[in-house]
Amino acid sequence: MLLCHEMFSSLQGEGPHTGRPAFFIRLSGCLEPFCPWCDTKDAWFGGSPASIEDIIQKVVRESHRFVVITGGEPFLQWDDGLSRLDRELAEMKIEVQYETSGKVAIPQQVRGEVICSPKYLSGKWHLARESMYRADAFKFVACRESIFFIDAFIAEHGIDRDRVWLMPKGKTRKEQTELLQFLWEHCVKKGYRLSARLHILCFDQKKGV
């Protein structure tokens, strides 16, 4: 049994699979310190119980071959049923992408692709050591004030630039667009990849898209 905030069909709005049709499973629960700029604060607490069988039925009914499991912090529920969901989706040949902050150690046995978005808060990075070595790619929520720390983190850990996506910080379309040109130019300079956040550019602050 998993605590779910919402499930819906949409397009992946950011990162390596931008624009790809997907079924989203947003799990409830997150881990302090919380991100003040988070655009899914409603998923930090609460949630509705959902059985693995019910979740799989919804995936099958929507006919998707790509599932995004996000949060909140999804790996908080690894031992409460997420490991089983991970296994069963893999057995069904359904591709899975996890979105995590990495504050909870990424399980070594996870079968899906893991996109880690480390958070720099209160003067330091909040990332479990295990997450650094298990993540398949890294997304950084970036702005002019944080870019120095992001560059230093990437250099310190020797992260391949082809595994790095920068995304504009902000919960609104206006905040996003004000940063896109700056991040575009920085990605050209550093060799990173740029990810818009299409769901915010298209729908602004609308939820469930």
Domain boundaries, the chain: 2-203
11 annotated as ligand-binding: yes
13 annotated as ligand-binding: yes
* Residue 204 in this model has a pLDDT that exceeds 90: no
Q: What are the backbone angles phi and psi of residue 6, rounded to the nearest 5°?
A: -165, 160
Q: Which of 9-13, 34-38, 47-51 has the lowest mean pLDDT?
A: 34-38
C-alpha span between 47 and 1 (Å, rounded): 12
70 annotated as ligand-binding: yes
Where is pLDDT greater, at 46 or 98?
98
118 annotated as ligand-binding: yes
By DSSP bridging, strand 124-126 and strand 119-121 are: antiparallel
| Predicted confidence band of residue 171 (pLDDT cuts 50, 70, 90) | confident
By DSSP bridging, strand 2-11 and strand 21-27 are: antiparallel
As given in the structure block, the two tokens for residue 82 are 């997420």
CA–chain centroid gap for 12, Å, is 10
C-alpha span between 178 and 57 (Å, rounded): 41
What are the beta bridge partners of residue 125? Answer: 120
| Predicted confidence band of residue 146 (pLDDT cuts 50, 70, 90) | very high
12 annotated as ligand-binding: yes
List the one residue out of 100, 58, 96 whose CA is nearest residue 75.
100
38 annotated as ligand-binding: yes
97 annotated as ligand-binding: no
C-alpha span between 140 and 26 (Å, rounded): 20
**How many Cβ atoms from other residues are within 10 Å of residue 119's Cβ?**
20
Q: Which residue has the tokens 């970036």?
A: 142
CA–chain centroid gap for 64, Å, is 19
| Predicted confidence band of residue 50 (pLDDT cuts 50, 70, 90) | very high
Q: Which of 8-17, 29-38, 66-75 has the lowest mean pLDDT?
A: 29-38
| Predicted confidence band of residue 197 (pLDDT cuts 50, 70, 90) | confident
Assign domain 2-203 to its CATH architecture. Alpha-Beta Barrel (3.20)
79 annotated as ligand-binding: no
Where is pLDDT greater, at 82 or 38?
82
* Residue 138 in this model has a pLDDT that exceeds 80: yes
Q: Among residues of the chain, what percentage have pLDDT more than 90?
A: 81
